[in-house]
Structure 1
Amino acid sequence: MIALSGSFGALGPGEAERRLEAAGVNITDELTPSTTAFFMGREATNDKRNKAYVQSIPTYDEAALLAALSEFEGPASRDDSQPAPLAGLFADSAALAEAGPAELENLLTDVDWTSFVPARDLPPLRARLAAIERDHGLTPAHRLATNRIRVRGTMLSRPYGHRTRLTALALSPSGTHLATGDWGNGESGTAQVWEVTTGRCVNVLEWIDGGVGWDRYARTMQWSADGLHLGIAFRTNAVGVWDPFGESFEPRAEAQVTNGGSRPPHWALHPGGRSAYVSTGTKHRIGVHGCVPPLEHGALYWLAEQAEMSHEHILAKGPLPTEIQESCGEELAVDRSPTWSSDGNRLYVANRAEAFVVDVPTGVPLWHTRVSWLAEWSPDGRYLAHVHRGLLHFRDATTGRPTGEPVRTAGSRWELSLHWGMRDSTARLATVLNEEAADPGIDVYDDGRLSHRLAVTPAKTALAVENKDFAVWAWAPSGDRGAVLTAAGDIEVWSLGDGEPRRLCTLTTPAGTQGILWGADDVIVAVGKTVLRFVRADTGETIGDYTFLREADAELPLHPDDVYDHFDGRILALDDHTWCLPVEPDLAIAPPERRADIESHLAWIVDRRFAWPLRWGRFDIWPDAATAVANLRTTSPDTRKLRQAVRETSG
């Protein structure tokens, strides 16, 4: 039983359903325990994505769907003497899930690896191998799978691409990938993409012109709904879209439609990832006032002296409705980044003084209300929660009308923050009173009704007020648990089901942690300006731990000129005294006794999207460059540079 959501660019309307049904596959509109796979296309709905996660239904993208169609439609023409396609998602998935070490080795020997599709086949294969390693240790199946995967092309991860402090964070809608960005040196910055489930960096986008985001500004990095496009506010006031898993450092498209200001624009990437709302001006200030430029390809510029685009204001198509003018005047201004509805037809805006909803196709504001600094929209677009004059209000996002009586709050905007999550169809709000409040703690509201109170003292960080990327509360994707960064500097994980709240565990954080996120596979991410740690909420296991901008006081493995000219951005400090120089494709220069630390930082990367453990294959670690050169097994640009450096040193 397979479920689909959204549109697929390579297939016409309804084509996927027709071809799947013709191949005898059952299609369902509902996500149930009997659903074996969920394929997400463009503009897939968030509610289905959340339901798939909660029910542990494997989720795949368009590439996997095309591979599935090829496999479903292929048996009639396939030569029976040829190996069967790799077991993964389809009829033989049970064989993969239940195979022991010997059975899996036989299976991987017999399958047709030319049909291997990473998006479909790598995650379940990796999960099965991890389970076998836990029960039996490393086996020939691990080495066999690694060799077959590496033949199709891999690269070593580069966890330390950031050259300055982090300014931006964005978790993909599925929670599988995290993007981090830095402003750089003012000329160029870097974005890194991390696979959350493994805690490894899978791609680095360097030389982003003018740097990523701006210190203390939130949402300068944003993902499309399908997780295939990454929007970035860069070069201070430009907006662009990158392929987060691509090779190019250049944006696929960019829009420089701002007034040239010295701060990022107020913007929101469309759920489809091919346009964005951008606003910098008002009726009385030069700049676009709410345009939606296309971001398909190329660059789009706005010229103030010509001002054609300045008249195409999303929020100014004709006079505002009388009832709105009476409360706000002749103009609705945008001074914070808004939120799109999942269907891309509405914009939800919550400013420092007002909130409103706009119908994008017509440009007509649907309603307007006065708010204070604290205002947040629920992920499903049903509610606005805001604090005004000391009262917490819940409003219907469709009508703007209150959904119940307001609740007295005990904190100012410096002490209080609002955090929405979803549990099935229930919208859950956590109101977090931090350590500076007179009575710190956390209240949880389900669809506007108080359900839980947590006796905990949350932290307040320097960035928590202005940059919401660094938040002290994170909901589990399933919505049944939450995590809080405490004033003591650790993370408490709480059960927030139907009974009384329970503290499940306490996780340690690295010094400098300023916020937390909760991604896929129960992985919590602790993050600060120079630290990043990935921890499993269920076991407390740390699966990735990184400190940026650290330098070791030891001598570099190569002459500094060789390092900076060829290996720039790839060498890493394992601690304050130890360097490690990774050399493609399968070796590192470092103390061999530090193998465990090296394997905890590096991995082989497949399709710039998935990490594959080094310990499952042969990876050499040599104490110095000369020993490494004497034992080289392969030739690559890195090994040629290594040979040259050793020759020049010995000569």
Structure 2
Amino acid sequence: MPGPFANLSQLVQCSDEELESLVEQADFGDFVASRDLPPLRERLLRLERERGITELHRRASDKVLAAGARLVETPRYIGMQRCFALSPDGRHLAIASNRLDESHGGDVRIWELATGRVVGAVGFETALVGSTREPSCLQWSPSGEWLGVILDQVIIGVLRTFAGTQPSFTADVTRRWGSPPAWGVIHPKTVENTGHLPAWCWSPDETHLFISTPGPDGALGCIVPFREGTRVNEDSDGIRWCPARLDGQPSKSRPHTWVRWSPDGSRIHGYCKDEFVLDPNTDPKPEPHPSASLIDVRSGDLQYRFDELKLPVAFSPDGASLAYGDKEARLAHGHTSRTVTVLSKQADVSIHAVEEYVWSRDGRRLAVLITGYEYPQVLVFEDGKFLCHVDLKRRSFGPSSRSGDLGRWAWSPDGSMGACLLREGAKIELWKVGPSPKLLRRLEGAGRIDGLAWGADDTLVGTGHHDIAFWDVNTGQLRFQTSLELEPGRVPPPEDWNPWPDEVARFIPTERGWDFTRAQPDGTVVCPPGSRDKLEPRLMFSVAGRHAWPWRWAVGTRHARWEDPAPFPVAPQEEAAFEERRVPVPEGETLEARDARHGKWGFLKQYQAPTRPLDHYRADPVFTHGPAICRANLTPYLGKGVMLRQTQYGTWYALGALLEVSDEGILLHPRAPIGSYRERLLSFRDILWIGPAVPLETPEG
């Protein structure tokens, strides 16, 4: 590697006047992005804070981008984030997510921790990406050059991490023997050859994958050769099935929930949440239970299966140790499953429940998050010996991640500090961990965060279903934070309003509708003038596919420019947004019929019915989940059209006329899509947000 393009230490410490001279004299022919871009970017950010964007920013951008870079937009809105994986060097976080409408497709995005921006993305138009059911559906290879992800709950796809291209390798081996056995389902033909969600892992030399799935003759998983450009199935050459014999007999074990390959390449260790013997002739039927096991790579047999396992569970990074147990925390030898020590006895605490086990990166330290009979706390062990407990002052842990990829405790890369997510005040506490733990600082802004990862560049990242935040652990300052969910009162715009129908729509809300935007790889950004301030912070050039360079610094050079949208008129709606309708009252109505009418229509005689599709409206004002959704706030809108979003899992919106408001809920016509038809009213507790419907204006250009 050539020497630095400039004196990096002098670059960081110099004055603004000296900086200009250094940049002019620098030899950008020797510029190496991984080494030189971060310090140059940091120095120019400081200059921007002091003087704004200068000519020096433009000159430096012209030189840095001359070798080529792609413009990438950090999205404003995406669907639910499903899987998370921190890169081996701790500088990038991969996230698999749904599309906004959650009906089809998904994306894998690469976030740079130092800037909190997206530097790469791969979209899948029809395939479901990742899963929230089990951990490790998204995994980096040991070198970080490859990224594997589960597609459609069955296939493992591997892509070049920083190339921005579709998977160049797939493995689809869970269908033939992985489908549920005929005796295990009511309608076996409906699931025949559909496959299952597999646990999988990389070999340490990146030449193979292990995929845990039933195989021929009772096999439990297979070792698949990894070669770029190949598509592997059960009939492919080179697949080696692991017979998984235990003490010379078929183990009849269930596939793993989670697996890893040992660093020396000789063993594969993992656990299964619901182990039971797959034998229809067994009577009485065994109860499902967790188990841990170890596969010898050479023979493919089990070295042990540990059926006394209790969740939660965590193997150390090298697989040499196994922490487990819910009421009693234990440490076992990862190669034999024999108990090494009872951790809870060492700490002399009474445990109501163990929440999580979290190993440091080097495997020396173990954090045990417990709920005691009095209050929660974190027990810390070093080399299997009790070190200390972190006193949380009777505060509870934050919410837990659905996928299990990230936890509520994160170790610093060197294991000397830890971060703990707390529920009270939506805060994160940073601790110096030792015989006498010391609270370093509290980080604000952790609302809706349920998982933490401590990466390189002094960055802590927090993730949630629809949120992501990046903190500088040295200062406690937020580097970037965003909700990736639509604002309350909004639903995705109509598809025919998108000026670029062949691309995923990007849009920014306006008072009367939406502004559609387009960021092209060459640096051209199409955006109406009124929304440019909102879009600009999310625009970054991806240099070498890994490093973010602010697009705004290049405006005025050949690399970046704004462009007004071309006219794209949408036919205006001819009918009025609402129509006055009367509740039908038959002549000579009986008391019984009147009561039935009141039950269906409330007590109104007329109401305003929305006439357009739901996505042609927004809600304003908006009342959000909690005390604000109440009778007093909603009564003024009786007989009016309203929009709402329900709180059930998934994305469910409703548009209709508000016919009745009680102390407990509302009567909507037509009924909301999700809810019990035995219940006349939609309960307030099932509404995420609600407000009177306001029609949107169609785009004009």
Question: Normalized against structure 2, the TM-score is what?
Answer: 0.67
**Residue from 143, 160, 164 that aligns with 1:243:** 160
After the TM superposition, which of the residue ranges 517-526 and 276-285 deviates more from structure 2? 276-285
Equivalents in 1 of 2:559, 2:336: separation in Å?
Answer: 65
Residue aligning to 1:289: 220
Question: 1:392–1:558: structure 2 CA closer, same or farther, 3 Å change rule?
Answer: closer
- Partners in 2 of 1:262 and 1:412 — Cα distance? 38
Letter in 1 for 2:553: W
Tell me if 1:490 matches 2:431: no
Distance 1:355 1:191 in 2: 30
Equivalent position SS for 2:340: coil
Residue 377 of structure 2 corresponds to: 441
Work out whether residues 313 and 325 of structure 2, in 8 Å CA contact, stay in contact via their aligned partners in 1.
yes
Asked if 1:642 corresponds to 2:565, the answer is: yes
The alignment-based identity, stated in percent, is: 26
Q: 2:173 aligns with which of 249, 257, 275?
A: 257
Q: Separation in 2 of the partners of 1:576 and 1:437?
A: 54
Residue among 468, 472, 479 paired with 1:536? 472
Question: What secondary structure sits across from 1:124 in the alignment?
Answer: helix
Secondary structure at the residue paired with 2:452?
A: strand
User: Higher strand share goes to which structure?
Assistant: 2
- Tell me, which stretches of 5 or more residues in structure 2 are unaligned? 176-192, 274-289, 572-698
Shift of 1:172: 0.9
> 1:446 Cα deviation (Å)?
1.1
> Measured at CA, do residues 214 and 130 of structure 1 come closer, stay the same or move farther in structure 2, by a change above 3 Å?
same
Question: Structure 1 residues 385 and 173 mapped into 2: Cα distance closer, same or farther (>3 Å)?
Answer: same
Identify the residue that residue 154 of structure 1 maps to in structure 2. 69
Structure 1 residue 126: Cα displacement: 1.9
Is 1:237–1:256's contact at 8 Å kept on the other side of the alignment? yes
Q: Specify whether residues 607 and 209 from structure 1 end up closer, same or farther in structure 2 by C-alpha distance, changes over 3 A only.
A: farther
The answer for the alignment partner of 2:233 in structure 1 is 302
Instruction: From the superposition, tell whether residues 210 and 586 of structure 1 become closer, same or farther in structure 2 (CA, over 3 Å).
Output: closer
Q: Flag the structure with higher helix content.
A: 1
Tell me what 2:613 maps to: none
Q: 2:311 aligns with which of 373, 380, 385?
A: 373
The structural deviation recorded for 1:480 is 1.5
Q: 1:371 to 1:575 in 2, by over 3 A?
A: farther
Match of 2:585 in 1: none
Normalised TM-score (structure 1): 0.71
Indicate the residue corresponding to 1:524 in structure 2: 460
Per the alignment, do residues 550 and 368 of structure 1 end up closer, same or farther by CA in structure 2, a change over 3 Å counting? Answer: same
AA aligned opposite 2:147: L
Deviations along 1:195-244, whole A, 9 cap, x unmatched?
A: 01100011111116521122332111001112111110112100010112
Q: CA deviation at 1:165?
A: 1.0
Quote how far apart the aligned CAs of 1:548 are.
1.9
Report Cα offsets for 1:334-369 as digits up to 9, x if no partner.
321211222433212123332233331333444443
How far apart in 2 are the matches of 1:512 and 1:534? 14
Determine if the alignment matches structure 1 residue 107 to structure 2 residue 40.
Answer: no
Alpha-carbon distance in structure 1 between the residues aligned to 2:78 and 2:195: 22
Match of 2:86 among 147, 158, 171: 171
CA offset at residue 591 of structure 1? 6.2
Q: How does 1:191-210 map to 2 (within 5 A)?
A: 191-207=108-124, 209-210=126-127
The question of whether the paired residues in 2 share the 8 Å contact of 1:163 and 1:549 is answered with yes
CA-to-aligned-CA distance 1:457-515 (integer Å, 9 cap, x gap): 34353x54x52124222112221211122122523323233342222222233543222
Consecutive unaligned residues in structure 1, runs of 5 or more: 1-67, 73-84, 621-632
Does the 8 Å CA contact 2:136/2:199 hold for their aligned counterparts?
A: no
Is 1:416 matched up with 2:335?
Answer: no
CA distance in 1, matches of 2:119, 2:456: 16
CA gap of 1:100–1:359, structure 2 versus 1, over 3 A, is farther
**1:341 and 2:265 correspond:** no
**CA distance in 2 between partners of 1:561 and 1:594 (Å):** 19
Measured after TM superposition, the shift of residue 255 of structure 1 is 0.4
* Equivalent AA in structure 2 for residue 164 of structure 1: G
**CA-to-partner distance for each residue in 1:152-176, whole Å, 9 max, x for gaps?**
3333322228642111111112111
Q: CA, structure 1 residues 554+471, in 2 after alignment: closer, same or farther (shift >3 Å)?
A: closer
Q: CA deviation at 1:292?
A: 1.5
How far 1:284 moved relative to its partner? 7.9
Give the distance between the partners of 1:443 and 1:107, measured in 2 at CA: 51
Distance 2:491 2:167 in 1: 37
Q: In the alignment, does 2:95 pair up with 1:180?
A: yes
Query: Is the CA contact (8 Å cut-off) linking 1:241 and 1:273 kept in structure 2?
Result: no
Mapped pair 1:404 → 2:320: no
1:574 and 1:241 mapped to 2: Cα distance?
39
- How far does residue 135 in structure 1 lie from its aligned partner after superposition? 6.7
Once the two structures are TM-superposed, the CA of residue 382 in structure 1 deviates from its matched residue by 3.2
The answer to whether the 8 A contact 2:73-2:539 is kept is yes
User: Cα 1:302–1:98, aligned 2, differ >3 Å: closer, same or farther?
Assistant: same
- Cα distance, 1:542–1:406 mapped onto 2, change above 3 Å: closer
| Contact in 2 for aligned 1:441/1:454 (Cα 8 Å) | yes
SS in 2 for 1:147: helix
Q: CA deviation at 1:265?
A: 0.7
Whether the 8 Å CA contact 1:102–1:141 is kept in 2: the answer is no
Aligned residue pair count: 531
Displacement of 1:105 after TM fit?
A: 2.3
Alignment match, 1:362? 299
Q: Which secondary structure state, in structure 2, belongs to the residue aligned with residue 513 of structure 1?
A: coil
Give the alignment partner of residue 467 of structure 1, picking from 403, 410, 414.
Answer: 403
Question: Cα distance 1:634–1:491, how it changes in 2: closer, same or farther (>3 A)?
Answer: closer
Structure 2: distance between partners of 1:272 and 1:207? 28
User: Would you say the 8 A contact 1:379–1:427 is kept in 2?
Assistant: no
